[in-house]
């Protein structure tokens, strides 16, 4: 799948964002190495801390369906309405990526639109990250 299609899926996922407290709506689309796509949105909570980010929603959906190998994720986020800027993944989501992805090859697309995006590897976004290899797994 090309980058544009993955970003389009993230924009679709953002439509389902449940963000009544922050009004900050995020969508993510996670691409497996086999070419399947799992979408996720942020899901907030009146008690605040149970809130789940879009990226982790996508990962947990995929992992719970048995997926273990991932190629890329596209992320779009911003205040309700049209996306106008980049919404980079939070530290907790980067750490979840670190659990399942090769930091040198996993690609993170932070997008405003299908045409406007930046691309980084997980290693670039989480330098010297702690992961399964540190526990010799
Ligand atoms: N959010 C995400 O979905 N992904 C991120 O990486 C950053 C933050 C959500 C959580 C919360 O619902 C809203 O954005 C404001 O922080």
* pLDDT values of the chain reduced to their tens digit, one per residue, 137 residues: 999 999 999 999 999 999 999 999 999 999 999 999 999 999 999 999 999 999 999 999 999 999 999 999 999 999 999 999 999 999 999 999 999 999 999 999 999 999 999 999 999 999 999 999 999 76
Question: Is the entire prediction scored with pTM above 0.85?
Answer: yes
Among the listed residues 64, 11, 67, 79, the one whose alpha carbon sits nearest the alpha carbon of residue 39: 11
Atom of ligand 1 nearest to the CA of 41: 3
Residue nearest to atom 3 of ligand 1 (CA): 53
Helix, coil or strand: residue 103:
coil
Verify whether ligand 1 is closer than 6 Å to residue 125 (CB atom).
no
Verify whether ligand 1 is closer than 6 Å to residue 29 (CB atom).
no
Atom of ligand 1 nearest to the CA of 52: 10
How far apart are alpha carbons 83 and 116 in whole angstroms? 11
Verify whether ligand 1 is closer than 6 Å to residue 42 (CB atom).
yes
Mutation test of ligand 1: which of 10, 15, 18, 24 has the most ligand atoms closer than 8 Å to its C-beta?
Answer: 24
Verify whether ligand 1 is closer than 6 Å to residue 27 (CB atom).
no
Verify whether ligand 1 is closer than 6 Å to residue 57 (CB atom).
no
Helix, coil or strand: residue 121:
strand
Determine how many CB atoms are found less than 10 A away from the CB of residue 71.
17
Catalytic residues: 55
- At 10 the pLDDT is 99
């Amino acid at each position: 799948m090309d980058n544009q299609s993955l970003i389009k899926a993230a924009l679709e996922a953002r439509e389902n964002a449940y963000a009544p407290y922050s009004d900050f709506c995020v969508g993510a689309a996670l691409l497996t190495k086999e070419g399947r796509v799992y979408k996720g949105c942020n899901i907030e909570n009146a008690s605040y801390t149970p809130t789940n980010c879009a990226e982790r929603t996508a990962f947990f959906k995929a992992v719970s369906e048995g997926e273990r190998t991932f190629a890329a994720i596209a992320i779009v986020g911003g205040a309700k309405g049209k996306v106008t800027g980049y919404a980079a993944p939070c530290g907790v989501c980067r750490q979840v990526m670190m659990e399942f992805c090769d930091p040198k090859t996993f690609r993170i697309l932070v997008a405003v639109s299908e045409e406007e995006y930046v691309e980084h590897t997980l290693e670039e976004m989480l330098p010297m990250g702690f992961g399964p290899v540190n526990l010799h797994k």
